[in-house]
Structures are given as structure tokens and as C-alpha cells.
A and B are shown apart, each in its own frame.
Chain A
Amino acid sequence: MSIHIDHISKSYGKVNALDDISIQVDPGELFGLIGPDGAGKTTLFRILTTLLLPDHGSASVAGYDIIADFKAIRKQVGYMPGRFSLYQDLTVEENLRFFATIFGTTIAENYDLIRDIYVQIEPFKNRRAGKLSGGMKQKLALSCALIHKPKVLFLDEPTTGVDPVSRKEFWEMLKRLQAKGITILVSTPYMDEAALCDRIALIQDGRILEIDTPKAIVEHYPKPIFDVGAHNTYLLIEKLNAYVHKHSVFPFGEYIHYTDQRDGFDPLELRAYLKNEGLQNIHIERTKATIEDTFMELAKQ
């Protein structure tokens, strides 16, 4: 149950939301679309779930063409839009029952699939969906998207606005669903979640920057990266940016990620420069590239 995306383009007026996108998602894969807001992720989801027509190109989901066989696709896929899109005035159980009914099934029939997720919100099953917390809303939305045993699951930014603990739980659930043979396409603006996918596509301004496994993507990072720290981070960023040989400077956690233009870069030289500029407690250490570094590097080009 794979997804083929073949040279898809879509524009709204003059804005190119998607520009010649081609992605191949294998059956049973957990595939991530990683990119900032406005990169075109939602547009791609809507095209694949047959809600929008592409301007150019073609795509198929689970073997069905998104234009000709849109009705077949609508029976096969589960879709969780980025915005919470359940009935706020219905209770948890009523929402779930409604979605089961319109897909011609019952909660009992597919309870196995959603059990892990649903047990966590079942104590609140008589609460109106609008009164749930962010994390519980996501779990309910996922339950509703899964209740008809879809072969392909589309999750558009499922963890946006969800607390870190719930986010972690959510990804564990995705892993379990993947183990049940469901192909999952998930988008997220969080780079740390990218590492949890089998493969990811980095996307920005409607273009694919790179598609690969998270591991390969960070290994492809072309330059050595250094963590740089000092007593005054603000001054440090300012001085690093002013350094003639700098290639890139990004704040990353408590340190600054720094790369140099030169091949034979000597950290001691940088230390001397920074000391000269009045910085104290200078710390420079070689580190590994992250997906975020790669993204920033690719986005620059």
C-alpha cells in the first residue's frame, strides 16, 4: 500500500505551493515530511487525500489514482487534518461512534487497532470533545482516523501544540501502528521528530530539498560542526557572525553550532579570536550534525 507522487505542482494564484514534487513511499513505511510552516505540507496532504486537484503531475495512493479513483481512496485512507476537526459538541464516544458508522463499521469491530490509544481517553468518554486537552484531542482524532482500519494514514502536523510527553507517546503509537502494516505519511515542523521516521523528505517553499533516511541525511552534512559556548551567548553570536571565515552560525540548545568556510579549520584560531573580542569561558567542541543543521544548510542554497 504505497504512495507514488510524480512531479506534482500546485499554485494558488502567483504563489507556488508545490513545485514539481516527486516522492515514493513504500508499503508499511513511516515517512516524514519535514518543513517549516508554509512549506506546502498541508497542500500535499490535501492533494493525496483527494481534497485538492494538482495543477500538474499525478499521484497514486494504495494503487489508486488520486483523480480518477478518488472514491476508492476515500474508503482506504485515514486522514487527520492539521487543525482539530472533530465535533466539539459531541462527546468522545459519540465522535468515535459517528466516524465508525459513516465508514460502515463499529467501534467493537476495530477496537483492537485503537485500543492502545483509546484506553487513555476512555475514562473521559462522556466528555465533550471541545473540553479535552490538546494531547487528548490528538488521541481522539487519531482514534477516529483509525476506526475504519485504513491502509494508509495521513497525519498533518499531529503533534503541533501538544506537550512533549504526549508527543513522545504519540510517536510510540505511530510505531505500533506501523508494526501493524499501516503505511504512514506524517508531517511535522519539529526536527527532533524527524529522527523517528524511516525516511524523511525535507521540504521548503514547495520544493523538496532532500529525501533519505534521517541517519543518511545527517551523515551527508558536508562540513565539520562545532559546539561553541561562552559566558555571554548574545555577544558570542554577534562576534561569530562578524568572524571573516564563518560559514554558518545557528543557536542550538545551550550552544551555538558553528561551521567554517575553510577546509583546514583550527578551533584554536577561533578561540583566540573570541578571547580577543572579550569573551570568557570559551568552549569549542566538535559535534555531530543534526537534521536541523542539514535543513538550514540545504535551505540556504
Chain B
Amino acid sequence: MKRFIGFVQKEFYHIFRDRRSLFILFGMPVAQIMLFGFAITNEINNVDIAILDRSQDASTKEIISKISSSEYFSILQHIKEEAEIEEVFKKGRVKAVLYFEKEFSKKLIKQHTAKVQIVTDATDPNVANTISNYINSILSHYQEEQNRAITQDYQIIPQSRMVYNAELKSVYMFVPGVMTVILMLVSAMMTSISITREKELGTMEILLVSPLNPVQVIIGKVFPYIFLSIINAAAIVILSIFVFHVPVKGSLFLLGLESVLFIVTSLALGILISTISATQQTAMMISLMGLMLPVILLSGFIFPISSMPVPLQVISNIVPAKWFIIIVKGIMLKGVGIHIVWKETLVLLGMTLLFIGLSVRKYKIRLE
């Protein structure tokens, strides 16, 4: 036990005396959550749009006033010709153009159908999609009001409602993802680097020629990172609750347990990486390329898994982060308990045992 404490103490010296690892450990989580929370966002607010109104009648005026009074849009300019549409997009400020056809009001009353075209700047497809959805919903609102006045039978009005994130706040979606990325980064990359550092500096040679057995060395190396990762996870949750007002609907205790499980999964991966890489640089490259990219791209963090090609959907199953994100979203946003996420938990547990088994088998008690 004394040996273990001595070893862990040494690890903490390493961590606290190395500014780079300190920054990764504590600067990154805060920086990332702030970045994703404030800067990288899919929400729309005061988007500049332009209007091309060919009818200039009561209906279009009412629709335009509804749009301009919403907090989502502000009307930057009115244009006269279709040819001007491209021009305003090229200037860059206008993200959408609303194009009402001629005799809008008349057509609406007589033929019960009138056309309005929503032209969006799809250089950022997510934003374009959101804008068009928002405008659609304003239009359907208007339609609903009109229909009430003229009482037509059997009108089916589709109504979509966003649940769990009714306000479409993107920070709700990012918190589970950022938490996953950070825990993976801290746990896997930092442990693999700290173990390979011993190899690179030759101290592993001395540790091997000592009564410490491999399990003691590994647990000693990993323990500080378990501890620091838990602090990080807690910091992220606290930041999301108090800065971004993300609700935690489920049990905080369960969230904590699942996070510890995922931390152990990542640490096991880190150990596995360290057994196959000889230098810190290799360990870092493998961690970044082999772990971070799948975590960001294939876990459902940024791109929904359901919209991926089938082969990628299959591959996403072996990314531990995918399962953790499902669990975190479930607990934080939907408030579900273990009876819902037990399957994902079991998958994660199985992966963890597999990684630990593999790294124990691959760990060398000698230099070759």
C-alpha cells in the first residue's frame, strides 16, 4: 500500500509540474464546453433576410410583419427583381430570401393555394435547414389563423413539436458530446502518454527491475487520471447546469456511475495504446487519430448516426463513445433510469473488460 501511495504521489508530481498536461487536463474541458456552448451553435437569432414581394397585398404584408416581429429574423432589405436574389446572397449578410408570387392574396382566397418560395443560403446546411423550418412554422401558423376564419372542413394541419430540447438549444446536444470527448482525451491520451514517457526516458527499465509488478505499475499510473477525470466530469456537469442551464432530468448518481465506467473504458484503451507504442509521439498520434476522430465523427456527437451510410453505422457500434453519448443523453435530457440504458451500459462494460484483458496480455514484463 505504501508503495502504491508513493507511486501515485510521483504521478501527481509529474502531472502538476508539466504545464502542457495541466493545460490539457483543466484548460481543455472549460475551453471546449465554452466553445461549443457559445460559439459553435446551430441556433438562429436575428438572421438577416430579404423580401421579394410581387403582390404587395394584405396577406403578404401580414406574413412579413409576423416574420419581422419574431426574434429569429430581421428584414434587412426589400428587393424588386428575381435577378437580385443572387446578388444579395453574394454580399453574404442575407441568409434567406422570401419570394411571394404575384397576386398572392387573390390566389389564396380563390384557389386556396398560393406560393411563397424560401430561398436559403445553404453554405451552412444546418443553419439553412433551421431557417427554412422556422419560416415554415410561421407560415403554417398564419395559414391556421386564416383557416379558422373561413372554416373549411377536413383540413389536416401537420404539427411538429420538438421534444426534450423544445427550444432547439444546441448546447443541450453538445454537453453529452463534449463530456465524452474530454473524458476520452484526458483518460486515454494522457495515460498512454504517461506510460510511454517512462519507456522513452528509460525509467521503465528501472521500474521493471524492481519488485513492483506490472499490475501495480499500471494501477499506479492510471489512478491519478481516474481521479482527475471524475473532477473533470463533475466540472462539465456543473458548468452545463449553471452556465448553460442544461437540465439534468435523471439521477446525478447514475450519471456519475456511468461516467466512471466510461472513464475506466478510456483508461483501458489508453493502456492498450501504450503497450503498442514506443514513444510519446506515437501514443499521441494513435490517441488522436484512432480515438478522437471516431469519437467526434462516428459517435453521434456532431453527425446523427441515423443519417450515416450503413457501413459507417455498423462501424459506429464499436466506438465506445457512441454508447456513452446515448446513456448521457438519456439520463440528462430524457431523465431515464438504468432500466432503459442497461443495454448500452452492458456494451460499455463488455468493451472495458475486453480492453483490460487485452492490455494485461500485451503488457511486457521485459523490454522486448
- By a beta-carbon cutoff of 8 Å, the part of chain A in contact with chain B is 46, 49-53, 70-71, 74-75, 77, 79, 81, 83-90, 94, 97-99, 101-104, 144
Contacts and interface: CB of A to CB of B under 8 A. Distances in A.
B92 interface: no
A87 B365 CA distance: 20
Given A53-B366, A99-B210, A104-B211, 5 more contacts: A71-B211, A75-B211, A94-B10, A99-B206, A104-B2
B203 A89 contact: no
Contact of B211 (A83, A90, A102): A102
Contacts of B201: 85, 87-88
A195 B367 CA distance: 32
A94 B13 contact: yes
A79 B207 CA distance: 10
Interface in B190-225: 201-203, 205-213
B7 interface: yes
Contacts of B13: 87, 89-90, 94
Interface in B106-128: none
A98 B220 CA distance: 13
- 4 cross-chain pairs, A with B, having the tightest CB-CB distances, nearest first: A101-B6, A85-B202, A79-B209, A51-B367
B145 interface: no
B14 interface: yes
Nearest to B208: A51
Main secondary structure of the interface of B (DSSP, over half): helix
Contacts of A52: 366-368
B206 A97 contact: no
> Which of B6, B9, B206 is the most central at the interface, judged by chain A CB atoms within 10 Å of its CB?
B206
Contacts of B6: 97-98, 101-102
Nearest to A12: B368
Contact of A103 (B14, B203, B205, B211): B211
Contacts of A94: 10, 13
B18 interface: yes
A50 B366 contact: yes
A51 B210 contact: no
A94 B17 CA distance: 13
Interface string B1-20: 01101110110011001100
Contacts of A84: 202
Interface string B349-368: 00000000000000001111
Contact of A90 (B10, B205, B367): B10
A108 to B, nearest CB: 14
A85 B203 contact: yes
Contacts of B205: 46, 51, 79, 81, 85
Nearest to B211: A75
> Which of B2, B207, B213, B366 is the most central at the interface, judged by chain A CB atoms within 10 Å of its CB?
B366
A118 B10 CA distance: 21
A254 B18 CA distance: 50
B16 to A, nearest CB: 10
Contacts of B207: 102
A101 B6 CA distance: 6
